[in-house]
A = this chain, B = another copy of it.
Amino acid sequence: MKRTAPKTPSITVSDVARAANVSKATAARVLGGYGVVSDAIRADVTAAAKALDYRPNELARSMTTGRSGIIGVVVGDIENPFFSLAVRGISDAARAAGFNVILANSGERIDVEKAAVRLLIGKRVDGLIVTPSESRDISHLRDIHRSGRPLALLDRALPDLDVDTVTVDDRGIAMRATRILVDAGHRNIAYVTAVDAKGHEYRDLGQIYTSSVRERIDGFLTVCRDAGIDRPERFVRLGATSPAETRRVADAMLSGPDRPTAILASDSVIALEIFRVIRQRVLRVPEDISLITFHNADWTSVTTPPITVVDQPVYALGKGVAELLIRRLKGDPRPAERLILPTSIFERGSVGPPSKAIVNRA
């Protein structure tokens, strides 16, 4: 890289000190708000600072103090309203405690997540909040923890990592959602998730490295089996990683044999796309197909019919994890806490009995 920086000369403590006819140390004391200074000198320095339009260099400050006042956050996808709401919760809690937030996107890719963590550590954030995209490779998270910087986990727990964690009871709530469908009479219920695995085909839980999703699938399968559904695994659909992919998955699912009469979507972004495909195929909800999705997104309440959703306390999830982290930042010595927030289901109009014979109207 060339010499591009014009090196803007900014006003420093020394400049102010000189202007106020005091030592650098004294000026620093009033400017930094520490130590003791007489009122007269304080006034002088303050005046000089104002006249020169002094702006403290946070970088220099946090280099010597060792703390930056910044919390690093790594989430899967900020565009997903689930995460933006959670981030909002984090930001609010952080601001209330005088911290700032620096945000990084992992795109649910482990290598990007690692890079982001490395970067944030490099920036010397005081602590990190991560939504781990994989439970397999968590060396970078161990590193954080080991470096003495507090780490807190959001939405996804890691059994092997004993740090503050805030999640919901994904298994339990998935069971409840599935039971609603089963009770309505469904036997062909599909579970659609963005998580992918080798071969894009679901075989067993061991393939699924995103803890929340694994829990959900586990709950889903348990209830299905209890209901006597044969090999419910065949209804688990992976790889709905983008709108286009979701569309592909949904299309395959809806036109293939053994077609589901009900769908449980793992997040609202997926559900939206599935809903579009359903509409496009001129299928009716819930007469032709029932739908439940995780996350009470905006749109789910204004469709016709409105969608039955799993209403995770997303904002509280973010707020809670931030509060846990901040508590740790302030030196709380208590052992790591694993908070599991209560979750409910909003039954709206998208679930009905299975249609006897579904005609493909597309």
> A residues engaging B (CB < 8 A)?
4-8, 10, 53, 55-60, 62-63, 65-68, 78-79, 81, 84-85, 87-88, 91, 100-105, 118-119, 121-124, 143, 147-149, 272, 275-276, 279, 297-299, 301-304, 330-331
Contacts and interface: CB of A to CB of B under 8 A. Distances in A.
Contact of A91 (B5, B60, B105, B124): B105
Contacts of A55: 118, 121-122, 147
Nearest to A77: B88
Given A78-B84, A91-B105, A299-B298, A122 B63 contact: no
Nearest to A91: B105
Q: Which residue of A66, A81, A301 has the most chain B CB atoms within 10 A of its CB atom? A: A66
Nearest to A330: B4
A67 B85 CA distance: 31
Contacts of A67: 5
| Identical chains in the assembly | 2
Given A58-B122, A87-B78, A124-B59, A302 B275 contact: yes
20 contacts: A5-B67, A8-B66, A8-B148, A10-B147, A53-B143, A58-B123, A78-B84, A78-B88, A78-B91, A79-B85, A79-B88, A81-B81, A91-B105, A100-B104, A102-B103, A103-B103, A275-B302, A276-B301, A276-B302, A298-B298
A50 to B, nearest CB: 13
A123 B303 CA distance: 44
A123 to B, nearest CB: 5
A65 B103 contact: no
Contacts of A302: 272, 275-276, 279, 299, 303
Nearest to A116: B100
A68 B78 contact: no
Contacts of A149: 8
Contacts of A10: 147
Contacts of A101: 103
A8 B58 contact: no
A308 to B, nearest CB: 15
A275 to B, nearest CB: 6
Nearest to A65: B5
Nearest to A73: B103
A123 B123 CA distance: 11
Contacts of A147: 8, 10, 55
Query: Which 6 pairs from chain A and chain B are nearest by CB?
Result: A299-B299, A58-B122, A8-B148, A304-B304, A102-B102, A5-B66
A124 B3 CA distance: 18
Contact of A68 (B53, B59, B118, B331): B59
A59 B286 CA distance: 56
A47 B124 CA distance: 24
A148 B55 CA distance: 14
A58 B55 CA distance: 21
